[in-house]
Chain A
Amino acid sequence: MNIVSILSTLEFGIVFGLLALSVYSALSTGLLSLASIAFAGCGAFLFVHLTDQLNWSPVLVLVCAAGVGAVAAALLSVVLLHLESHYIAMATIAVVLMTRVAVLNLPGVTGGVNGLAVFEQLSPLYIIGALLISIWVFARLRRSRYGLASEIVREDTTVAATLGINIRAIRRVSFVISGAFGGLAGALLASLYGYIDADTFFMDLAFVCLAAVVLGGAFHWIGALVGGVVFTVLPELLRGWFDQADQILNGLILVIIMIFLPRGLADPLRWRTIFGVGRSRRARLPEGPEGSPDQGPGPIKVKEAQS
C-alpha cells in the first residue's frame, strides 16, 4: 500500500467520520436518525450545481451545503420529532427511501437514473479544515449548557423534564446540527466520489454510518470520527483476500463489538474507570434507557434494575 492510497483512504475515512458525526449529533439527544444520509444527498447535489454551473468558491459552497442540510433538518424536525424512539428510526429510514425516489424522479436537478458527474475536486485541505471546525464545534458543544442538557435528555427524558429542560427544543437543535454536518459531509463526499446518483445516498451508507458511530462509541463525539476512520481503513487493509472479504469482516466486527464492547471503542465511562478521573462511576452506573446501549464494564451488575 503506497502513501497516496493511504492518504486517499484517510480522506474517505475522515469524510465518513463527519457523516457519522451527523448521526452522532442526533443520537446524543436520544434520536436514532438515519436522515443524515438524506441531508448528505441535499448537500451533495447542491455542491455539484454550485461548483460546476455557478463556479462559486468552495468555502462558500460548503457553507451553503451545510446550510441546506440544516434547513432540511429544521423542516423535517417539525413533523418527525413528536415520535417515540423506534418510530423516529423508522420514519428517518422512510425519509431515506423517499429521498432516493425523489432523486430518481427529478432528473432536471439530480440527473435521475444517470446521476451526475462531479468535476470539482477539493484539495485535502478543505477536508482537514472541515474536520478541525467540526472538532472545535463538538468539543465546545459538549462543554456547553446544551451539551449537558442533551446528555440528560438522552439518558432520561423524565429527569430532563423535571429539571425544566425543554426536551423538544434540545432535540430540535441536535437534529439541525445533524442536518448541517450531514450536508457538509455530503458535499465533501461528492467531491471525493467524483460521481453521485440515487444509490450513493441510500440505506447501505446510512447503516454504515450508524455502525461507525456505534463502533467508535456513541457517547462521545470522538467515537464517530474514530468509527468512520476505522470502518474505512480496516477493509482497505484487508482488500484482496477474496471478493467481499472486507465487507464481511466489517459485519463481523460490528457484531463482535456490539456484544463484547457495547459502548464502542471510545467510551468516556471506561476512561474514567481506567484513569480514575471525573465523577465516580458508581454514581453513573444505572443508566441505559430505551435507545442506548446499557452498562459499561464493571463488577456491578444491575441487570434487571429498570422495569
Chain B
Amino acid sequence: MDLLLQQLVNGLSLGSLYAIFAIGFGLIFANMNILNVAHGAFATWGVIAAYFLLINADVPFWVAVLAGVLGSGAIGLLAELFAFKPLRDRNAGMLGSIIVAVGIWIILLNLAEVVLGPNPKAMPEGTFPSQPIDVFGIVVPPIFLVNFAALVVVAVGLSLFLSKTRFGAAIRSVGFKPETASIVGVNTKLVLSVTAILAAGIAGLAGVLTSFSTNNVSFTVGEGLLLKGFAAVVIGGFGNIRGAVIAGVGIGLLEAMTLQYLSTTFRDAITFGLLLAFLVIRPQGIFGELKVSRA
C-alpha cells in the first residue's frame, strides 16, 4: 500500500512536469500553428540559464527558476523574430514552419552541447533543500511540492489569462485567424511575440524543475520532455489546457506505475502506444480541440 502511494506521489510529480511542458507546447501549436519540435531545446536553454546563474552567483532557488523562465522566453522571442515571423510573412505553410523548427532545434541542441559539454552535470548542492519530507511513511522530496504547485499556478493562471483578459482574447483570436484579428485591431506581431515568450518561458520552467527533480543538467533534458509533452498534448487535445494537464499527469502516473509493477522497458511502449492509438482513433484528443475549424 505504501509502495502504491509512493509511486502515486512520484507519478504526480513527474506528470506535473510533463503537463507544464505540454501546456506551453500546446499554446504554441494552437495559437501560432507551429508544431514546434524545438520546444524541448527551449526548455534545455532555460536549464542552461539557471545552471550558469547558480554556479556563478550565489542566488536563491527562486531566482534561478526565474532566470530559467526568462532565459528560455528570450530564446523563444529570438526564434519568433528571426525565424517564425519572416517565414509567416512569406506565407509558408505548415511544412515550412516544421522545417524551420527543425533547423532551430538542430542549432539550439548542438549549441547546448557545446556550452554544457557531453557529460551530464548536477545542480549545485544546497540550492534547494533535498532532505525528503516523511509523510506517513511516504518519502516526498520538497521539489515534488514545487512541481505540483507550479503546475497549478501555470494551468490556472494561463486559463484565466486566456479566457478573462483582453490580451488573452487577442491571443485566441490570432490563433483562430490572424487576418481577421488584425482587421479588428489586434496587434498581431505583438500578440505572436508574447505567445512565443509565454510558451517558451513555460517550457523553461518545466526544464528547470525537471533538472532539479532529477538532479541532472545535460543538453538532452528537454528532449525527454518534448516526447512526453507531445504525447500529452495529443492525448489531451491541442489548445486545451485542461486536457494537457489531465493527460500529462496521467502519463506521469502511468509511467510510475509501469516502472513499479511491469518493467522499465514497457514504460515508453505504453506512453507512445497510447499516443499512436489516440492519433489513429481519436486525433482530436480526449476533450477535442478548442479551435473551431472553418469549413
Q: Which positions in A face B, CB cutoff 8 Å? A: 27, 32, 79-80, 83-87, 89-91, 93-95, 97-98, 100-102, 104-105, 207, 210-211, 214, 218, 242-244, 247-248, 250-255, 258-259, 262, 288-295, 303-304, 307
On whether A83 and B91 interact (CB within 8 A), knowing A210-B102, A211-B99, A244-B113, the answer reads: no
Judge whether B265 and A259 touch: CB under 8 Å: no
- The residue among B37, B94, B113 with the most chain A CB atoms within 10 A of its own CB is B94
Judge whether A262 and B179 touch: CB under 8 Å: no
Residues in chain B near residue A100, CB distance under 8 A: 268
Judge whether B106 and A248 touch: CB under 8 Å: yes
Q: Does B96 lie at the interface of the complex (its beta carbon under 8 Å from any beta carbon of A)? A: yes
Residues in chain B near residue A290, CB distance under 8 A: 93-94
Nearest CB in chain A: distance from B289 CB, A:
11
Judge whether A94 and B105 touch: CB under 8 Å: no
Nearest CB in chain A: distance from B265 CB, A:
5
Q: Does B1 lie at the interface of the complex (its beta carbon under 8 Å from any beta carbon of A)? A: no
Docked Cα-Cα span, A89 to B110, in Å, equals: 24
Docked Cα-Cα span, A244 to B83, in Å, equals: 21
Docked Cα-Cα span, A87 to B277, in Å, equals: 12
Judge whether A292 and B276 touch: CB under 8 Å: no
Docked Cα-Cα span, A32 to B269, in Å, equals: 24
On whether A254 and B280 interact (CB within 8 A), knowing A89-B35, A101-B272, the answer reads: no
Nearest CB in chain B: distance from A120 CB, A:
29
Q: Shortest 6 CB-CB distances between A and B: which pairs?
A: A254-B103, A251-B106, A251-B107, A255-B103, A244-B110, A91-B279
Judge whether B95 and A255 touch: CB under 8 Å: no
Judge whether B275 and A293 touch: CB under 8 Å: no
Judge whether A90 and B269 touch: CB under 8 Å: no
Judge whether B93 and A294 touch: CB under 8 Å: yes
Judge whether A295 and B91 touch: CB under 8 Å: yes
Residues in chain B near residue A254, CB distance under 8 A: 99-100, 102-103, 106
- Of the candidates B35, B102, B265, B279, the one whose C-beta lies within 8 Å of that of A94 is B279
Name A's interface SS. helix
Docked Cα-Cα span, A190 to B273, in Å, equals: 27
Nearest CB in chain B: distance from A101 CB, A:
5
Q: Does B90 lie at the interface of the complex (its beta carbon under 8 Å from any beta carbon of A)? A: yes
Judge whether B283 and A83 touch: CB under 8 Å: yes
- Of the candidates B110, B111, B227, the one whose C-beta lies within 8 Å of that of A97 is B227
Residues in chain B near residue A251, CB distance under 8 A: 102-108, 110
Closest B residue to A303 by beta carbon equals B91
Judge whether B234 and A294 touch: CB under 8 Å: no
Docked Cα-Cα span, A259 to B273, in Å, equals: 35
Query: What 15 new A-B contacts, CB under 8 Å, besides A94-B275, A259-B86?
Result: A89-B94, A95-B276, A97-B275, A98-B272, A100-B268, A210-B102, A211-B106, A244-B114, A251-B102, A251-B103, A253-B103, A262-B92, A290-B94, A293-B95, A307-B179
Q: Does B8 lie at the interface of the complex (its beta carbon under 8 Å from any beta carbon of A)? A: no
Q: Does B98 lie at the interface of the complex (its beta carbon under 8 Å from any beta carbon of A)? A: yes
Residues in chain B near residue A207, CB distance under 8 A: 37, 102, 105-106
Closest A residue to B265 by beta carbon equals A105
Docked Cα-Cα span, A254 to B177, in Å, equals: 27
Closest A residue to B79 by beta carbon equals A255
19 A-B residue pairs with CB within 8 Å:
A79-B280, A83-B283, A87-B279, A91-B280, A94-B234, A97-B227, A98-B272, A98-B273, A102-B269, A105-B266, A214-B95, A244-B114, A251-B105, A251-B108, A255-B83, A294-B90, A295-B90, A303-B91, A304-B179
